[in-house]
Amino acid sequence: MKRLLAVIALAALVYGGWWVYAAQSLRGAVENGFAMLRTDGWTAGYDDLSVRGFPNRTDLTVTGPRLTSPDGRIAWRAPFVQMLGLSYNRDHVILAWPDAQSLRIGNTDVAITSDGLRASVVKKDGALLRSNLEAPVLNISTPEGSAAFAGVTAALEKIEPLNASYRLAVIADRIALSAPPIGGGNAPDSLSDLRVDLAFELDAPLRLDRLSAAPRPVQIAVRHSEISYGALTIKLSGDARIGPDGYPTGEVRIMSNNWRAALEAARDRGHLPRRMADRLIEMLTLLSGLSGARDTLDVTLGLRRGGVFLGPLKIGQLPPFPLR
């Protein structure tokens, strides 16, 4: 009996030591991450850092985290952020965010509120293998307007055995806008069924131990994307390579059904200025005529040197992807 008790006591001591080691390793990794951000020129800090969950869990809470980019254009802060995991599986964690956090981009303040915003992250040797994010409710507000998302899910997965290629899928069951992007706030305010499925290649793998050294995209392939805006349905697919200057080169195919009825209804109800609606109908009629269907838009646009081209005609300009 004494021998059995001794074995149990020894096992408990060994397991307790393992938990302390796992907890201290996790704490040290987060502290080192903040230190590396500061080395890279970020302003990075927090009020407190604690690890709880003995004996099976290592649940880390960072209280009062705050980050500001080296150029001061991006700043984020939150009351807390949590990293929840099992002490015997340090490569799989759950990230949980608070109901409210704040972000500043340039001179714009962005308020983020959510219900149940969390993500599952699986890594290996610091490299991200896959992640799943969910938010039953996600609201983003700026002084210019706000957007409310319901039923948001996203999945990111590394494409094996490639070195730095990934697949991303995003779904939002419904979106409501307080200041729609069309018609000076008078357009329909309800979107639904957002679906995005794309693959992309980076110039280096995504890593969780060097968040400040974000890799640069070099190839993006949109397999399928679809969104409804009132009665209007828009689908987009395409493939583009990102040059050293940050500009994409490739093609984008845009398809839309019911665009004419949607624009005419928005015009007749006063949701769109009549002159703007008439010009849009005229332009889209020309584009849809290329595909031989009056009410169906199916057109392929070229991307070259930052310009958007319809055949030889330049119809727009894209900003470059940010370069690190």
Average pLDDT of adjacent 10-residue blocks, the chain of 324 residues: 55 60 84 90 94 88 95 94 87 95 94 96 91 96 88 95 94 77 46 86 87 83 85 86 92 84 73 73 74 73 87 81 66
Residue 231 confidence (pLDDT)? 66
Q: CA 188 from chain center: how many Å? A: 25
Instruction: For residue 21, give both structure tokens.
Output: 């080691």
| CA–CA separation, 74 and 303 (whole Å) | 29
| CA–CA separation, 237 and 223 (whole Å) | 6
Q: How many CB atoms lie within 10 A of CB 317?
A: 10
Residue 183 confidence (pLDDT)? 42
Cα torsion angle, 186, 189, 195, 199, sign? positive
Residue with tokens 């894209």, as numbered in its chain? 318
Residue 290 confidence (pLDDT)? 64
| CA–CA separation, 169 and 309 (whole Å) | 27
Residue 204 burial (10 A CB sphere; 0-12, 13-18, 19+): middle
Contacts of 228 (CB under 8 A, 6+ apart): 191, 192, 193, 234
Cα torsion angle, 98, 132, 146, 72, sign? positive
Residue 185 confidence (pLDDT)? 42
Half-sphere exposure of 41 (CA within 13 A, CB side): 9
